[in-house]
Structure 1
Amino acid sequence: MDKIRFNTISEALYIYSASDFKTAVLESISVDELIFISASTEVPRAAFRAAWALEHLLLHSPALLHQYRGQIIDLYTSSNNWSVLRSITKLIIELTKTSSKTTTLLSDEQEEGLLEKTFQVLAAVDCPIAVRCNAYDILFNFTMKYEWLARELRTQIHFDLEKNKTPALSSRGQKILKKIR
């Protein structure tokens, strides 16, 4: 993507509100462009806004989420921007739900990448609470397939709650622990 197009889209993203992110926005900005900007490390604020736009567009359009699943997984596994990860983890939760038809379409390599990245996220001491909570849900979505994961997730949640018992972490952690039982 050329610099002028990148800057034009970035500026437009600063103006949009969440309610503006309907599929009509795709008439002027493509999903590919939003993914490209989300992966950018040059302008973290633009990356965040692009990921936020992706979240709002793709959560309300399962067909599009399915279509771009590989690119969303790649974005998740390669990003180190916590603001981007906050939005992209919500898409990964949706892609890994056991009720989702897309879970059966994930390759072993994609599953391995998702699990590895999610454990990296949880190991990061500077991981924001919202991303940490979303990581719990991602791992939980794999517990039906990988029974050992339930034990690991339970241990991780208990460890996190001992370190930092914020209301959000406590609420989501307890919710996941109840589901595991």
Structure 2
Amino acid sequence: MNSKFTKEELIKQLKADPTRGYIERLSATLRAQDFDLNEMIDITFHPDKQTAFRAAWLLDVTILYNPELYIQNLEYLVKRIKDVSNESCKRQYARIMMHLTAPNASESIKLKLQSLDLEDVVEQFFDWIIDPKVKVAVKAFAADTLFNLSPRYNWIAEELANQIQFMMRTGSPAIQSKGRDLLARLQ
């Protein structure tokens, strides 16, 4: 891993069976090489679902290590969220957005997100919450992101509360717990 990675080399690395801690080590290498995050985002749409998932996991680890390093990539990240169809990648994208929109995010991240149109993200995340085939973790991260965005889009709170109450009717214990927490915070 001494030479500078190309997009093709990264894909080859992601196709290999990773050992424990591999994604974290690969992320550190890519950060040191200033690998283009937009290229990593593109790999999360790779036709091989396992490669796409590992790229999304790598994206998650890389961005959340130091989000400020990737402020210039946030617009592209936000733009691509509506294209995410790989079930395994949805979790990572929702998790990333949950952290980026969190109240404790840095001021520079908040300012950048404030300058972006996040309505596609809001729409996509509501779609994921409503879709019965979407996994619980994705729904939880999406709901937290929507909650974080509710001060910006004042209509979110009411719609999110309605969707949570609907999910809780037949939801698992995890959905019940998350739902109660979010409903209490929405009050």
- The structure-2 alpha-carbon separation of the partners of 1:99 and 1:6, relative to structure 1 and needing over 3 Å to count, comes to closer
Superposed, 1:54-93 pairs within 5 Å as 54-93=59-98
Structure with greater helix share of residues? 1
In the alignment, structure 2 segments of 5+ residues that lack a partner are: 1-5
Separation of aligned partners in 2, 1:58 and 1:6: 16
Query: Match of 1:32?
Result: 38
Question: How many residue pairs are counted as aligned between the two chains?
Answer: 178
Secondary structure of the equivalent of 2:18?
helix
1:157 has 2:157 as partner: no
Matched, 1:148 2:152: no
- What's the CA shift for 1:67? 3.1
Task: Check the 8 A contact 2:43/2:52 in 1, yes or no.
Answer: yes
| Distance apart, 1:27 and its partner CA | 4.5
Moved over 6 A (4+): none
The letter of the residue matching 2:72 is Q
List aligned pairs for 1:7-46, cutoff 5 A. 7-12=11-16, 14-15=18-19, 17=21, 18-27=23-32, 30=35, 31-40=37-46, 42-46=47-51
User: Identity rate of aligned residues, in percent?
Assistant: 25
Find the counterpart in structure 2 of residue 49 from structure 1: 54
Q: What is the root-mean-square deviation of aligned Cα atoms in Å?
A: 2.5
Higher mean displacement: 125-134 or 3-12: 3-12
| Greater Cα shift, 10-19 or 71-80 | 10-19
Q: 1:140 to 1:13 in 2, by over 3 A?
A: farther
> Taking structure 2 as the reference length, what is the TM-score of the superposition?
0.81
Q: Would the aligned equivalents of 1:136 and 1:153 in 2 still touch at CA under 8 Å? A: yes
- Mark the CA change 1:114 to 1:108 in structure 2 (over 3 Å): closer, same or farther: farther
CA contact (8 A) 2:31 2:62 kept: no
Change (3 A) 1:108 1:59: closer
- Residue 167, structure 1, aligned to residue 168, structure 2: no
Q: Is the 8 A contact 2:64 2:96 kept in 1?
A: yes
1:176 paired to 2:182: yes
| Alpha-carbon spacing, 1:158–1:12, altered in 2? closer, same or farther (3 Å) | same
- 8 A Cα contact 1:38 1:48, kept in partner: yes
Q: How far apart in 2 are the matches of 1:14 and 1:44? A: 15
* 1: CA distance, partners of 2:115 / 2:131: 24
Work out whether residues 14 and 49 of structure 1, in 8 Å CA contact, stay in contact via their aligned partners in 2: no
Map of 1:116 onto structure 2: 123
Q: CA deviation at 1:29?
A: 8.4
Query: Are 2:52 and 2:89, in contact at CA under 8 Å, matched by a contact in 1?
Result: yes
Query: Using the alignment, how far apart are the partners of 2:39 and 2:17 within structure 1?
Result: 12
